């Protein structure tokens, strides 16, 4: 193993880009020793080696984040805030967890002037805070990022419902979230009243029977990840599509994204040549 690592380290300085990239990939594949090797290379006298070490450190950290999110997406009783923070970090991959949590905390602090323990209070709070949904046709990946939504007050309707529910839970109330023809809503089961972010936080009596799906935290996290994935594809952000898609694939039990998706993530391209 040591001899192989030394060979790979030498190849990092190879003039051929593909050779050095392959060496980096090989080092990163050694899960047990990769971090130790990267740490030692950061002290190298070679500027090229140090640069490659920093690149590998970023790649290793990104891989660890993906695995963490993929594992959380399989949990039925998950911590929704942690999951949404981990998803945010797939898009804003240079943000830190502390930064994203800080944005959420600032938003939560702004809401303390209201008791988020009823439909009416939630409506008043969100309206006064200027929280609004992004129109469906304008949705982008940022509209599923909890830190960005906390900072801007704009996001997908189900994300706003999820955030409202997290605030309500701290007040001892755990409302349902339901998808309707008018969009997602916070739903008071006892009073049969819904609160609709896409309708400027309007309250309305709802004919929602017990057979209609109630969205759990796990379902909401998976919906946010899938929505971000499709938005990244539409926006041509293939690198991020791969990162987010890999989390989804792993959570589904697939070894890699190419196992479940066609070209350019796997399979054969339109010219008939297999992708690598």
For residue 1, what pLDDT is reported? Answer: 47
The verdict on residue 39 lying in a domain is: yes
Q: Spell out the alpha helix ranges (H) of the chain.
A: 2-11, 17-29, 31-41, 47-73, 80-91, 97-110, 119-128, 146-152, 157-169, 217-234, 238-251
Domain identity same for 118 and 146: yes
The verdict on residue 172 lying in a domain is: yes
Domain identity same for 85 and 145: yes
Domain enclosing residue 7, as ranges: 2-64
The verdict on residue 121 lying in a domain is: yes
In contact, 44 and 35? CB cutoff 8 Å: no
- Positions of the chain with pLDDT lower than 70, given as ranges: 1-3, 31-32, 35, 262, 265-276
CATH of the domain at 26: 1.25.10
Domain identity same for 211 and 152: yes
The verdict on residue 257 lying in a domain is: no
Domain identity same for 95 and 139: yes
**Phi/psi at 210 (nearest 5 deg)?**
-70, -10
User: How many Å apart are CA 232 and CA 52, to the nearest integer?
Assistant: 27
Domain identity same for 125 and 174: yes
The verdict on residue 93 lying in a domain is: yes
For residue 276, what pLDDT is reported? Answer: 42
Domain identity same for 112 and 212: yes
Cα angle at 133 between 118 and 205, to 5 degrees? 40
Domain identity same for 87 and 161: yes
Domain identity same for 143 and 214: yes
Q: What is the pLDDT of residues 222-242, one digit of tens each?
A: 999 999 999 999 999 988 998
**Phi/psi at 89 (nearest 5 deg)?**
-70, -15
For residue 275, what pLDDT is reported? Answer: 45
Residue where one domain finishes, among candidates 199, 218, 237: 218
Residue where one domain finishes, among candidates 20, 37, 64: 64
Closest by CA position to 193, among listed 211, 181, 175: 175
User: How many Å apart are CA 266 and CA 217, to the nearest integer?
Assistant: 31
The model scores a pTM over 0.95? no
The verdict on residue 236 lying in a domain is: no
Domain identity same for 54 and 141: no
The verdict on residue 20 lying in a domain is: yes
- Indicate the number of domains in the chain: 2
User: How many Å apart are CA 249 and CA 56, to the nearest integer?
Assistant: 23
For residue 267, what pLDDT is reported? Answer: 59
Domain identity same for 54 and 87: no
Domain identity same for 92 and 210: yes
For residue 45, what pLDDT is reported? Answer: 75
The verdict on residue 8 lying in a domain is: yes
Domain identity same for 91 and 165: yes
């Amino acid at each position: 193993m040591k001899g192989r690592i030394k060979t790979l380290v030498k190849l990092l300085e190879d003039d051929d880009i593909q050779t050095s990239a392959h060496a980096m990939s090989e080092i990163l594949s050694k899960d047990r020793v990769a971090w130790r090797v990267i740490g030692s290379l950061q002290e190298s006298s070679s500027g090229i080696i140090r640069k490659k070490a920093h690149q590998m450190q970023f790649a290793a950290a990104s891989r660890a984040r993906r695995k963490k999110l993929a594992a959380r997406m399989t949990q039925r009783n998950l911590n929704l805030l942690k999951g949404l923070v981990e998803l945010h970090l797939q898009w804003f991959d240079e943000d830190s967890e502390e930064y994203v949590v800080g944005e959420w905390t600032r938003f939560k602090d702004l809401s303390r002037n209201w008791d988020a323990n009823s439909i009416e209070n939630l409506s008043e709070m969100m309206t006064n805070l200027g929280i609004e949904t992004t129109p469906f046709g304008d949705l982008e990946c940022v509209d599923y990022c909890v830190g960005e939504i906390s900072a801007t007050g704009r996001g997908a309707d189900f994300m706003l419902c999820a955030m409202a529910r997290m605030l309500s839970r701290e007040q001892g109330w755990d409302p349902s979230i339901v998808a309707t023809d008018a969009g997602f809503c916070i739903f008071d089961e006892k009073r049969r009243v819904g609160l609709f972010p896409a309708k400027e936080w309007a309250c309305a009596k709802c004919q929602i029977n017990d057979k209609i799906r109630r969205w759990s935290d796990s379902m909401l996290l998976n919906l946010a990840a899938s929505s971000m994935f499709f938005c990244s594809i539409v926006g041509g952000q293939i690198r991020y599509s791969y990162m987010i898609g890999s989390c989804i694939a792993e959570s589904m039990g697939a070894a890699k994204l190419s196992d479940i998706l066609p070209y350019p993530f796997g399979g054969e391209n339109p010219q008939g040549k297999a992708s690598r």
